Each structure stands twice: as C-alpha cells, then as structure tokens.
C-alpha cells in the first residue's frame, strides 16, 4: 500500500488506532518465558491492521469511537490471528507474510496451543464489551471460520470446481470476518439493526474482494507475499481465475492438469502450465470483472453512511482492497 493511501484510510481514526494497538499488544504478552516468546513473535508480525481499521471506521461513521469499539477490534484481530496460526498447521505452511510461520519456529504442538490461547483472549475481549450480541457474534464467527476451512478441504475432493462452491467457501472465511468487523463496529456505535445489516453487507463485499485479489496474487511471482506462484494449486485448490478458465474449455490436457491438482499429484510443470493457461484464457480478467461488480455494489451501500470523512476513508479502503499490487 502506498503511504498516502494508508494515511487517507487512517486519517479519521489515527488517535483511536494507537489506543487499539496498545490494547492488542497487551493481549499478546505473558509472563511465562516460552509462551511469551511465541506471543512476542506473533506481535512483531502484526500487519497493516486492516481489519481493526475497518471496525473503527464502521463505528466512527455513526458515532464517536468507544471502549466497546476498541475491545471489538481487538477481539476480532485476536480471533483472526488465531485462525491464521491454526491454518498454517493444517496447511503445513512454513511461511506467513513472507516470514517463518509460528509452527515453523515453535512446532505444530506449540502453534496449536498458542492459537487456542489467542482464542481465549479473544473471547475475554468480547466479554469486556459488556454486550452479549458481540459475544455471540464472536463465538459464532469462530465456528463459521472453521466451517469454511472444512468446506475448502471438501471442495478439493470434488472432481469439478464451480464458482458457486468457491464463493461459498470465501463467504465462510474471509468475507465472514470482514462482515463481522463492520457489524461489530456499527453495533458498538449504537446503530439500529437495519443499519448494522447494511454495514455488515459492506464488510462482506470488502471481504469477497480481498480474497479474490489475494487469490490473483498467486498467479504471479513475488517473495513479499510469502508463497510461490501456484501455491494454491500445490495445495489442491482452484481459485476463481482458474475455475473460470477450466470451465470454459474442452481441452483434454487442461482437464488432466486439473485432475492432478485435485489429487495433489500435479508436477511443477503441470502447475505452471495451468497457471499460464488461466492467465491467457481470461481467468484473471474475469476475476477483476467480478471485483468491479462488487465495487459498484459496495459504493451503493456506502452512500447510506452519514459521516463524509469516514465515507472517503472507506472508499479508499475499498479501492485499496481491489487495486493493491504485489
């Protein structure tokens, strides 16, 4: 992200974001030396804080940011961090955000326990909001994210990859988390139920775009994203660009590559061939087209947000999500 774009997004909530960062850091400390080391490593890898930013902006669009808002942002980021740690164990991934994963440094057993510890801290932060609606949403969200992981594993076993199944998975994973960000933010601002649902719709669209854009990255080389080209295919996954491309061809060789990817027996040469075919057959263009359709939907929802400065920040957030580069 360019510095000016990040500054534009954060401008209405700069002071509150600093307070969020303090609370989040406090949640990732422990007096036990070994657990403390692992938590310190997780804390140092904190990224651009895009999800907490979304919580704070969703709240400030309707009311001043409160302690409830800050605890809501921390609870979701802790839950998200825990899910990433567990995902890396499930995927046997040695890297996250271009750095060694927790399981790579501390082993799978410690990584699972660290993830569990963060889940408990997340629920405690939800409790500190003193709002049972938020506690329920966070508790349900953990199950939804896990369900999304199971759905993704089940899809790998299916011989045919469909766009419907792809969106079902990402709605249960990335989109559910982003929807929770705007839902909790608007709840913490005291919004009426209809407004909360509008905010959640905007968050879900952001999440869909975020995942589509993230999946597009997998078709290009760049070490900064922490995974090689075709990594999803190596794990047996077909994402939106490839799904579009393979469902619009009758080529026998392409179908063979897909079968091998699904069986996780594809060679590096076959994966490269499928990546190249996807790019030359309109798969990337189609994914961009879907994001543009979602951008237009999000813009319509955003018109209902009353604070003009926050609307500008959320528009910049949406634009960054869709337009960000490797």
- Give the model confidence (pLDDT) of 58-67 as tens digits: 999 999 999 9
Averaged pLDDT for residues 96-113: 85
CATH code for the domain in which residue 193 is found? 1.10.600.10
**Phi, then psi, of 107 in degrees rounded to 5:** 90, 160
- What's the domain count of the chain? 1
pLDDT at 7: 86
What CA–CA distance (Å, rounded) separates 121 from 124? 5
Which residues, other chains included, contact 70 with Cβ-Cβ below 8 Å and sequence gap of 6+? Answer: 16, 19, 20, 23, 56
Whether 133 has a pLDDT exceeding 60, the answer reads yes
Higher pLDDT, 101 or 65: 65
Assess contact for 209 and 294: CB atoms under 8 A. yes
Please list, in sequence order, all residues whose beta carbon lies within 8 angstroms of the beta carbon of residue 10, skipping any fewer than 6 positions away.
Answer: 17, 53, 313
- What is the number of alpha carbons within 13 Å of residue 63 lying toward its C-beta? 16
* CA–CA distance, 259 with 60 (Å, rounded to integer): 48
Instruction: Give helix then strand counts, H and E, for the chain.
Output: 17, 2
Mean pLDDT of 128-133: 96
**pLDDT for res 228:** 58
Q: Which of 6-10, 85-89, 296-300 shows the highest mean pLDDT?
A: 296-300
Model confidence band, residue 326 (pLDDT cutoffs 50, 70, 90): low
The pLDDT of residue 1 is: 45
| pLDDT single digits (tens) 278-304 | 999 999 999 999 999 999 999 999 988
How far is residue 246's CA from residue 66's CA, in Å, rounded to a whole number? Answer: 49
Q: Which domain holds residue 131?
A: 3-323
Q: What is the pTM of this model?
A: 0.91
Q: Which of 285, 145, 272 is nearest to 216 (CA)?
A: 285
Instruction: Return the percent helix, strand and coil in the chain, to nearest 5.
Output: 75, 0, 20
> Cα torsion at 254, 260, 264, 268 (round to 10°)?
-60
Instruction: Give per-residue pLDDT as tens, 164-200.
Output: 999 999 999 899 999 999 999 999 999 999 999 999 9
């Amino acid at each position: 992200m360019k510095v000016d774009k990040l500054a534009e997004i954060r401008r209405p909530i700069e002071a509150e974001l600093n307070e969020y960062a303090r609370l989040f850091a406090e949640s990732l400390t422990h007096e036990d030396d070994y657990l403390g080391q692992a938590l310190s490593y997780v804390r140092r890898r904190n990224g651009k804080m895009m999800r907490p930013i979304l919580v704070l902006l969703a709240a400030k669009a309707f009311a001043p940011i409160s302690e409830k808002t800050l605890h809501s942002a921390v609870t979701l980021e802790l839950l998200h961090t825990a899910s990433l740690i567990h995902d890396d164990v499930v995927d046997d991934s040695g890297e996250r955000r271009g750095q060694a994963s927790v399981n790579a440094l501390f082993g799978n057993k410690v990584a699972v326990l660290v993830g569990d510890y963060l889940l408990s801290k997340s629920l405690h932060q939800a409790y500190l909001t003193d709002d049972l609606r938020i506690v329920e949403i966070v508790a349900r969200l953990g199950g939804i994210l896990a369900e999304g992981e199971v759905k993704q594993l089940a899809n790998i076993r299916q011989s045919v990859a469909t766009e419907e199944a792809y969106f079902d998975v990402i709605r249960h994973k990335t989109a559910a988390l982003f929807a929770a960000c705007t839902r909790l933010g608007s709840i913490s601002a005291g919004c009426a139920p209809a407004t909360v649902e509008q905010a959640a719709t905007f968050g879900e669209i952001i999440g869909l775009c975020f995942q589509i854009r993230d999946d597009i990255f997998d078709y290009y080389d760049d070490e900064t994203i922490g995974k090689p080209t075709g990594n999803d295919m190596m794990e047996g996954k077909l994402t939106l660009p490839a799904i579009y491309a393979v469902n619009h061809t009758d080529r026998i060789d392409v179908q063979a590559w897909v079968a091998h990817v699904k069986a996780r027996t594809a060679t590096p040469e076959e994966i490269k061939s499928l990546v190249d075919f996807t790019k030359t057959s309109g798969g990337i263009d189609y994914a961009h087209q879907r994001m543009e359709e979602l951008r237009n939907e999000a813009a319509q929802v955003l018109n209902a947000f009353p604070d003009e400065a926050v609307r500008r920040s959320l528009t910049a957030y949406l634009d960054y999500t869709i337009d960000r580069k490797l």
